[in-house]
């Protein structure tokens, strides 16, 4: 039998081919109209899915899934925080199927952290399509692993989430699955946002379980909750899912861990256990929106205050779209240190950066500038010191030009990381920039040191590592209060005694300032003899 005779697409009798004419009954017309107006009715009555327990079966939405359909339908920008195995993905793809069936000339992009995952979602859409009655199917023009094209000129595309995934496309509905797990999410969103906002009716659906604090998903979700962006938040907790009670929770924790349960089922944004800064401390960091942002990209959180002391730390990249050139401006007070301005750009040339650095430093009462002088950082150091003749620049040595700035060594990084941990966890360094918090949440153990987890950045954090090293230097003695330096010292002793120091122990020495001990036992012995 030919395709035209059986009406199937390429021999598949379950999918209506493009051009096949279906003769509607009066009842079918009535049902079609009901489904076109109500995605919940459509899903409940006509959609079939495959489950582990029942195999192919009718989709019976829970109450929160019905609410989710309505949420998607009522809002242009939706972001969903849902516990693991709550059916958020299946709810989303059913809504997408309804959207393309009853809305002609629409393009839907289904994006996931991996291409295989996106194609799997498309396969689930295809399965649901196959089991729709023909009077609801729009007819199929194209069907492969990466796309479905329909007779009503609507189509669904599936791909990995990347900066180029939907470049050049006019997308009417963008679905981002498990967005908290997408690497380089910021780069993707920056390139995609113009596409999203090009139309007045474009819809965006973002779903995920929690995956630490500070990432872009966390930022968007928290912004939605606080009413700071255009997204509307929707939340599914573990107790919303039928069959989950306190006994289920107890058994799940027993088979995993409490921390894992809290993040995957409790919808709590918790940093990884391997981060330099503890999860509780990261959760306690409260991001703020900049009070203003300059045309050059500087984020100001607090305007300069007359007679206050400021320190600026600078990290330089090559400006080739990879690592970022960054700086932090920190206010020095008797009660602690406060982040007041930041800069982050991965395109700016090292030849242009000094102008921005110097101009901002002058704004903040001629702030002391510390530049990491490794690699291209030396170019920036020389420009600030010689070309701009900025005098308040930290100089390691005046004997040679390479002494301008700070050479980041393993020792300096160890001291800086140890101090940074103490300062933040004791609430003595107040960090409020979202990008910095994001980097802190992924700044984790790598070998014998710390660095950004795969796919993330740590350029702003390394600013703070440099600042925190400087806190322990003799040069800082004229700036810091004795109480604050003693507090850091005492805390280092306590950590050594408790065998908790992650990367070295810091001991104050009147003659040499601070010394790093790689041998914990030696440090403990000497501390006891103080």
What would the DSSP string read from start to end of 78-136? Answer: EEEEE-TTSSHHHHHHHHHHHHHHHSSS-EEEEEESSHHHHHHHHHHHHHHHHTS-TTT
Higher pLDDT, 455 or 489: 455
From residue 387, alpha-carbon distances to 22, 244, 358, 406, 442 in Å are: 78, 67, 11, 19, 37
User: The domain that contains 366 carries what CATH number?
Assistant: 3.30.420.240
Residue 484: the pLDDT is 54
Range of the domain at 104: 11-242
Given pLDDT bands bounded at 50, 70 and 90, which one contains residue 485?
low
pLDDT computed for residue 161 by the predictor: 85
132: CATH: 3.40.50.300
* Same domain (yes/no): 298, 235: no
Q: Are 221 and 346 members of one domain?
A: no
Looking at the DSSP bridge assignments, the partners of residue 148 are 143, 156
Task: State pLDDT tens for residues 388-418.
Answer: 999 899 886 544 445 688 999 999 999 999 9
Of 275 and 101, the structure prediction assigns the larger pLDDT to 101
Q: Quick one: tokens of 128?
A: 């649901």
* pLDDT at site 490: 59
Quick one: 163 and 298 in the same domain? no
Distances (CA, A) of 48 to 28, 70, 99, 234: 18, 19, 16, 24
The mean per-residue pLDDT over the stretch 473-490 comes to 63
Residues 517 and 441 grouped into a single domain: yes
Q: What percent of the chain has pLDDT over 70?
A: 86
Q: What is the pLDDT of residue 522?
A: 45
- At 10, the pLDDT band (50, 70, 90 cuts) reads confident
Q: How many CB atoms lie within 10 A of CB 53?
A: 5
Is position 284 within any domain? no
- Whether 278 is covered by a domain: the verdict is no
- Clarify whether residues 327 and 235 are in a common domain: no
pLDDT for 146-190, tens place per residue?
999 999 999 999 998 887 777 777 889 999 999 988 877 877 888
130 lies in a domain?
yes
348 shares its domain with 452: yes
Check 178, 372, 439, 444 and give the catalytic one. 178
Q: Does residue 450 fall inside a structural domain? A: yes
The answer to the question of residue 67 being in a domain is yes
Q: Which two tokens stand for residue 302?
A: 């607090």
Identify whether residues 76 and 154 lie together within a single domain. Answer: yes
Predicted confidence at residue 508, as pLDDT, reads 37
Residues 97 and 214 in one domain: yes
Mark which of 242, 267, 284 sits at the end of a domain. 242
Q: Do 155 and 173 meet the contact criterion of CB atoms below 8 Å apart?
A: no
- Does the pLDDT at position 495 exceed 60? no
290-299, 383-392, 469-478: range with lowest mean pLDDT: 469-478
Alpha-carbon distance of 277 to 63, in angstroms, equals 39
Pair (299, 203) in one structural domain: no
| Residue 474 annotated to the active site | no
> How far apart (Å, rounded) are the C-alpha atoms in residues 167 and 86?
32
Task: Tell which of 242, 266, 282 closes a domain.
Answer: 242
Quick check: is 247 in a domain? no
What per-residue confidence (pLDDT) applies to 233?
A: 97
Contact 316, 353 (CB under 8 A): yes
Average pLDDT rounded to a whole number, residues 117-135: 94
Q: What is the pLDDT of residue 2?
A: 35
Is residue 230 domain-shared with residue 308, that is, in the same domain? no
Residue 363 located in a structural domain: yes
Average of per-residue pLDDT across 72-86: 95
Instruction: Give dist(CA 434, CA 10) in Å, integer.
Output: 51
Task: Residue 170: name the closest of 102, 105, 97 by CA.
Answer: 105
Q: Which residues pair with 244 in a beta bridge?
A: none
Q: What is the DSSP letter of 227?
A: T
Considering its fold, how many domains does the chain have in total? 2
Question: In this predicted structure, which of 39-43, 393-397, 425-429, 519-523 has the lowest mean pLDDT?
Answer: 519-523
pLDDT mean across residues, the chain: 84
256 domain-assigned:
no
Q: Using one digit for the tens of pLDDT, what is the confidence trace for 191-203?
A: 887 777 777 888 9
Residues 494 and 377 in one domain: yes
Instruction: State the average pLDDT over residues 510-525.
Output: 39
Are 314 and 165 part of one and the same domain? no
């Amino acid at each position: 039998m030919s395709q035209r005779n059986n009406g199937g697409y390429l021999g598949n009798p379950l999918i209506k081919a493009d051009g096949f004419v279906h003769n509607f009954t009066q009842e079918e017309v009535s049902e079609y109209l009901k489904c076109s107006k109500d995605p919940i009715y459509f899903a409940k009555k006509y959609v079939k899915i495959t489950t582990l327990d029942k195999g192919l079966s009718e989709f019976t939405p829970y109450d929160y899934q019905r609410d989710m359909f309505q949420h998607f339908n009522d809002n242009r920008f939706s972001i969903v925080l849902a516990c693991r195995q709550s059916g958020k993905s299946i709810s989303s793809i059913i809504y997408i199927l309804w959207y393309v069936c009853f809305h002609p000339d629409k393009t839907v992009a289904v994006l996931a952290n991996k291409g295989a995952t996106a194609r799997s979602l498309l396969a689930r859409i295809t399965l649901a399509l196959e089991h729709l009655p023909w009077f609801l199917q729009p007819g199929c023009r194209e069907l492969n692993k990466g796309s479905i094209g329909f007779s009503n000129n609507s189509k669904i595309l599936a791909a990995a989430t990347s900066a180029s995934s939907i470049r050049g496309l006019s997308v009417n509905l963008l679905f981002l699955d498990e967005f908290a797990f997408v690497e380089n999410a910021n780069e993707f969103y920056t390139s995609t946002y113009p596409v999203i906002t090009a139309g007045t009716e474009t819809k965006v659906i973002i779903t995920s379980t929690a995956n630490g604090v500070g990432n872009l998903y966390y930022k968007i979700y928290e912004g939605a909750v606080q009413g700071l962006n255009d997204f509307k938040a929707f939340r599914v907790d573990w107790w919303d899912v039928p069959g989950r009670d306190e006994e289920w929770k107890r058994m799940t924790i027993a088979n995993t861990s409490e921390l894992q349960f809290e993040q995957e089922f409790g919808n709590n944004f918790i940093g990884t256990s391997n981060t330099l800064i503890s999860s509780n401390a990261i959760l306690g960091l409260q991001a703020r929106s900049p009070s203003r942002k300059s045309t050059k990209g500087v984020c100001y959180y607090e305007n300069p205050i007359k007679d206050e002391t400021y320190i600026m730390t600078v990290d330089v990249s090559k400006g080739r779209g990879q690592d970022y050139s960054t700086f932090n401006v920190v206010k020095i007070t008797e009660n602690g240190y406060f982040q007041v301005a930041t800069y982050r750009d991965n395109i700016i040339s090292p030849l242009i950066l000094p102008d921005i650095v110097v101009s901002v430093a002058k704004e903040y009462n001629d702030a002391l500038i510390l530049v990491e002088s490794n690699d291209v950082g030396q170019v920036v150091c020389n420009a600030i010191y010689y070309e701009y003749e900025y005098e308040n620049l930290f100089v390691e040595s005046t004997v040679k030009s390479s002494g301008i700035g700070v050479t980041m060594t393993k020792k300096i990084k160890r001291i800086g990381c140890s101090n940074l941990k103490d300062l933040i966890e004791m609430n003595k360094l107040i960090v409020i920039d979202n990008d910095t918090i994001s980097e802190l949440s992924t700044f984790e153990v790598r070998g014998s040191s710390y660095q950004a987890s795969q796919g993330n950045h740590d350029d702003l954090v390394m600013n703070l590592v440099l600042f925190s090293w400087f806190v322990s230097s003799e040069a800082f003695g004229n700036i810091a209060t004795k109480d604050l330096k003693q507090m850091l010292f005492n805390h280092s002793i306590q950590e050594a005694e408790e065998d908790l120091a992650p990367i070295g122990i810091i001991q104050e020495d009147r003659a040499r300032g601070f010394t790093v001990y790689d041998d914990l036992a030696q440090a403990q012995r000497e501390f006891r003899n103080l």
